[in-house]
Chains A and B, each alone.
Chain A
Amino acid sequence: MSQPSQQDEIMAEEAGLRQEAAGIEPVSEARGLSQGQIVRKRFLGHSGAIVGLVVFAVIFVMAFTSVGYAGIPGWWKYTHEAVSPLVNDGAPTASLWPLAWGEHPFGQDRIGRDLFAMTMRGAQQSITIMVVIGLIAGLVGVVVGALSGYFRGWMEAVLMRLTDVIIIVPALLLAAVMAQLAGRRDEGSWFASFASSNGVLALGIFLGLISWVGLARLMRGEFLTLREREFVDAARISGASNARIIFKHILPNAVGVLIVNVTLTMSAAILTETALSYLGVGVKSPDTSLGLLISQNQEAFATRPWLFWFPGLFIVLICLSINFIGDGLRDAFDPRQKKFNAKKAKDADAAIPEKTPVAALDSRADDGRTAGGDRGA
């Protein structure tokens, strides 16, 4: 409970799924629009998500263009490793009035490295970790979830037990092992040599390889529900292969849940990286990450606060924007969720003739086995 994990969120989501809404109401805004159009429209209508998207885009562009990436030089004059003479005793030179950027806008650390460059490099690293984790967790999660949910039987049994094992192995321990492997460069294994030159990428891959479990459970739940639906039967009768059914028919219907939870996993990933760097098993200096920067400089909190505030600000900004984007996506992808207004709902309900709850429960009874199957497996 050190950090509310996205894991929990995914589990709750999963729990929520088990009691899916009864009949899906016709959504008025859906008329004449494709799913993509509806989602886009709803997403663009979510002001929090739009602000989040803009903020994230700005940070992304700034981080990757300013100090350069993968050997391509950036427009900022310093790199995160270059040492330059201390200006103004390392205090930030940027000022709001008169608006000036100065030599070291965010200040310098004690040996004279430019904090702006370091923060940008850190943001790069954090974003990289985030994206890598999102990709890997999404990919593995979908594959495992889809296979076990679609084929069931022994495949499900094996994959889900594997998931159970991974879910209870502590992430901290895995990260410690990972950090140990990455720090060991004289052993000559391909992994060590890869990890030592791409520390952050290796960390991301590793964390990605353990954070797919929640997603896999969730996707399995989705697949269990969807594979029993009429359109899947129809496809099967018309001779579609399993692969085709999975990719063309079921997956597009599960993509909402997937995207939403991948974004949430990503925002949790940044915090995981921060926590691991704080505990000394994450990114290692002289390379840097946002988490490492604030944990290195936590003692400077009262004396040289800029070393602490700027990286901290970026962590919070990235995290907030991703969370809001995820929130917007969740609202956009969930066809059942619409603007709910108690008063209006009451009025509207009074006007619209009731659907019989009996029918609703019946339709539920069909999927009822979903949940039951979930437990029984």
Chain B
Amino acid sequence: MVTYIVRRLVTAALILLGASFLVYLLTAASGDPLAEFRASSAPNKQQLMDSRSALLDLDTPAPVRYFKWLGGAAQCLVPFTGSCNLGKNIAGQPITDALGHALIQTLTLVTGAAVLAILVGITLGIITALRQYSTLDYGVTFMAFLFFSLPIFWVAVLLKEFGAIGFNNFLRNPEIPLPVSLGVGAVLGAVAVIVAGGDARRKALTGAIVFAAVAAVLIYFSVTQWFKTPGLGPVVIAIAGVGIAFAVTLLTAGLRNRKALQSALIAVGVGLVLYFVVQPLLNQATFLMVVLLAVAAVLIGMVIGYFMGGYDRGQSMRAAAITSFLVGFLIVLDRFMQAWPAYFNNSRVRGRPIATIGAGTPNIEGDFWILGLDSFTHLILPTTALILISLAGYTRFTRASMLEIMNMDYIRTARAKGLTERTVVMRHAFRNALIPVATIVAFDIGGLIGGAVITETVFSVRGMGFLFLDGILHVDPNPVMGVFICVAITAMAFNLIADLAYSALDPRVRVKA
């Protein structure tokens, strides 16, 4: 195992060396660094060109420059000296600084999108696999491919027009006309009919319920101007909590496991009591506190499950822990909603909360909740755009993987043993289907660091993609190399992790040392 890892690392270093040399030469060959001066007729044109040449050291041949760069970059390998020298860009900023900043920008932009895309993609993939060749399957496949085919700058323009400008206009007077409420209800009802399983009667019933519920909620929102002063309140949290308890129990333990269901329901009850207790605490919230509260919520759930016990204590604990985590999430969501009017009327936001550009409102001041909302309103559009286009991959993989697993012998064995369909899907199929998906996720995370060039461009986020592109446009190898090194190292590291994880997850695969 250790030999294997060492060998992989050595190979990786050699590959990195070779590829970085190639990238350096390519960047140096990709254009004319003096282009901006060529058409100038300034009398001191030559001097300007000379100074740029000196800055970029153009008189030295590119291969030699690469080794100069490598000399500086090699210092980064020496730990604790802090003498990491990746050169400077044309604007004179050290690349290490620029990279640090760009990395933060990129991670803020892509992390949420990646997590959501993976969650939604896997869920959709499993559902479509379980209903292969149904209307739902075709519908999801079509939508996934459609979004995959859309150019992202187009998606971005549309999202800005309707998601930001349109929605902000709507917020000025958030009344939903009755026909719209009914129409949205009807559409979602129709979707529910397609999604729901079972016979025609059950489908129709589901559709009708969804239609009624959606229309009613929209009318309620309109009447109470909910979008201006949103909130969940204890009642909604209670109702939603009970729903969550049932759903979580169904997925993790099965409703027949009464103890698990009871644990989950108790967790909801405790959550409701805590709702009132933590409100004053939440007013002083910091990020760390919210994380600690989340951990606490999970622990409380586990304790509840532990004391409820039952024939399978683990299942109860799991159900209660997940439920209490989700109820905790609802409480935090509610607190964010309470902060919404203050954010909405902030003098820097001026009643147009959803933003089309940037990562935050300049100079905005406020507590954790206001700043959190500010990030949310800025990230929602790019995140949506990224999710839409990256959903297709995950959905298709999970579907393919799940289909393959569902045809496996051990699944048949499981069924033959008389296990419920839930157990077969959740315990036997789902976990194994995730193994190949996990490798993909690892590869993707490696690639994430590279940033989303076009998304960054249209949403004016200056992350890694921008740094890279800007470097190429100015024929400035240093930023290009900086981004490349970051991306390549993460990619290779995650590649290794993926391989190791794979052998850990799948006992049939053995790492050959």
Binding site for B on A (CB under 8 A): 1-5, 8-9, 11-13, 15-16, 18-19, 21-23, 25, 48, 161, 164-165, 168-170, 172-174, 176-177, 180, 267, 270-271, 274-275, 278-279, 291, 294-295, 298, 301-302, 308, 312, 315-316, 319-320, 323-324, 327, 330, 336-342, 345-346, 349-350, 354-355, 357, 360-361, 364-365, 368-369, 371-373, 375-376
Chain B residue total in the interface (Cβ 8 A): 94
Given contacts A48-B142, A315-B151, A371-B510, 11 further A-B contacts (CB under 8 A): A2-B389, A3-B148, A3-B389, A4-B148, A12-B440, A19-B508, A168-B15, A168-B487, A169-B23, A172-B468, A319-B149
Q: Is the CB of A11 within 8 A of B465?
A: no
Q: Is the CB of A170 within 8 A of B484?
A: yes
**Interface core residue of B421, B443, B451 (most chain A CB under 10 Å):** B443
Chain B residues within 8 Å of A360, by CB: 409-410
Which chain B residue shows the least CB distance to A359? B409
Contact of B151 among A5, A161, A275 (CB under 8 A): A275
Q: Is the CB of A340 within 8 A of B132?
A: yes
Chain A residues within 8 Å of B386, by CB: 1
Q: Given A298-B157, A349-B415, does the pair A8, B409 have CB atoms closer than 8 Å?
A: no
Identify whether the interface residues of B are mostly helix, strand, loop, or mixed: helix
Q: Is the CB of B508 within 8 A of A368?
A: yes
Q: Is the CB of A176 within 8 A of B151?
A: no
Q: Is the CB of B26 within 8 A of A169?
A: yes
Q: Is the CB of B511 within 8 A of A12?
A: no
A-B contacts, 9 listed (Cβ < 8 Å): A11-B440, A12-B400, A12-B440, A48-B142, A164-B15, A291-B151, A320-B146, A323-B149, A371-B502
Contact of A375 among B31, B110, B416, B509 (CB under 8 A): B509
Contact of A279 among B31, B392, B447, B469 (CB under 8 A): B469
Q: Is the CB of A23 within 8 A of B409?
A: yes
Q: Is the CB of B130 within 8 A of A342?
A: yes
B402 CB to nearest A CB, Å: 9
Q: Is the CB of B452 within 8 A of A375?
A: no
Q: Which one of B57-65, B313-321, B431-439 is at the interface?
A: B431-439
Binding site for A on B (CB under 8 A): 4, 11, 14-16, 18-19, 22-23, 26-27, 29-31, 110, 113-114, 129-130, 132-133, 138, 141-142, 145-146, 148-154, 157, 161, 386, 389-394, 396-397, 400-401, 403-404, 406-410, 412-413, 415-416, 421, 432, 435-437, 439-440, 443-444, 447-448, 450-455, 465, 468-469, 472, 480, 484, 487-488, 491-492, 499, 502-503, 506, 508-513
Q: Is the CB of A8 within 8 A of B393?
A: yes
Which chain A residue shows the least CB distance to B511? A375
Q: Is the CB of B29 within 8 A of A177?
A: yes
Contact of A274 among B132, B151, B410, B439 (CB under 8 A): B151
Contact of A349 among B11, B15, B416 (CB under 8 A): B416
Q: Is the CB of B404 within 8 A of A165?
A: no
A299 CB to nearest B CB, Å: 10
Chain B residues within 8 Å of A316, by CB: 146, 149-150
Q: Is the CB of A3 within 8 A of B152?
A: yes
Contact of B409 among A11, A177, A355, A371 (CB under 8 A): A355
Q: Given A4-B148, A180-B30, does the pair A342, B421 have CB atoms closer than 8 Å?
A: yes
Q: Is the CB of A48 within 8 A of B138?
A: yes
A259 CB to nearest B CB, Å: 16
Chain A residues within 8 Å of B454, by CB: 2, 275, 278-279
Q: Given A22-B409, A169-B19, A376-B511, does the pair A12, B503 have CB atoms closer than 8 Å?
A: no
Compute how far the CA of A1 lies from the CA of B464 in the bound complex, rounded to whole angstroms: 12
Which chain B residue shows the least CB distance to A298? B153
Chain B residues within 8 Å of A176, by CB: 30-31, 472
Chain B residues within 8 Å of A19, by CB: 432, 435-436, 506, 508-509
Compute how far the CA of A327 lies from the CA of B437 in the bound complex, rounded to whole angstroms: 18
Chain A residues within 8 Å of B404, by CB: 16, 21, 336-337
Compute how far the CA of A329 lies from the CA of B510 in the bound complex, rounded to whole angstroms: 32
Chain B residues within 8 Å of A350, by CB: 415-416
Q: Given A9-B393, A161-B15, A368-B509, does the pair A357, B472 have CB atoms closer than 8 Å?
A: no
